[in-house]
Amino acid sequence: MTISDEMLRRASRLPTATLHEAFGKRGNLPSAIKPVSPNFRVCGRAVTVHGPGGDNVWIHRAIYEAQPGDVLVICTNSSYEHGYWGEIMSTAALERGLAGVVIDGGARDGALLAEFGFPVFSRGLCIKGTGKDLDAVACINKPVMIGDVVVTAGDLVVGDGDGVVAIPQAEVDDVLERAECREDDEASILERLRQGESTLAIYGWVLP
């Protein structure tokens, strides 16, 4: 099942924590992966990249394989201490109309990336440069494992200040319905709290 533009619009309005809960407390990428700038938010279909550690040639290639609105999701073979993404790549991705990038590794040019406004999610900032091996073995749009989550090309990827969640295409519609219901329920709970009720009473946790 392909994720429709309407599904993306709905998902873009929902917090990652709500989507994670609605997906049965699944889909959360490692908590170390956070936005380079706190106000970054990303939502789109995944284009997956599995590259050799310490090399970013295949990431450059993926920028031109991806379509407008896509999110690059990059596995670095657990080689985190490199700056895989920076100003040049953000400029290229912006020109291509991509929605953002999620890297299981480092980025650099942090202040410039924040100014650009192109959403970059990474394990942190790292100045260590990458190699450029044109013959390296790598792949685009094959399943990648980020932490304990397998991300497949076309999956929904949403990121905000709390982190990143990935949801398989086939489950997105159901997860969105549950997430929207959860948001409505929480709005009702917040109103009850403002009226003076306690969380213990609302959730039925009052001791006998």
- Concatenating the DSSP letter of every residue in 41-91 gives -EEEEEEEEE--TTB-HHHHHHHHHS-TTEEEEEE-TT--SSEEE-HHHHH
Separation of alpha carbons 113 and 81, rounded Å: 18
- Annotated ligand binding at 88? The verdict is yes
β-bridge mates for residue 149, sequence order: 146
Separation of alpha carbons 158 and 152, rounded Å: 14
> What does the block give as tokens for 54?
């310490």
- Annotated ligand binding at 192? The verdict is no
- Annotated ligand binding at 86? The verdict is yes
> What does the block give as tokens for 121?
């999610």
- Annotated ligand binding at 21? The verdict is no
- Annotated ligand binding at 95? The verdict is no
- Annotated ligand binding at 7? The verdict is no
Alpha-carbon separation of residue 81 from 86, 123, 130, 133, 153 (angstroms):
14, 9, 10, 18, 25
Residue type, 174: D
Question: Residues forming the annotated binding site?
Answer: 86-89, 108-109
Question: Residues forming the annotated binding site for substrate?
Answer: 86-89, 108
Question: Residues forming the annotated binding site for Mg(2+)?
Answer: 109
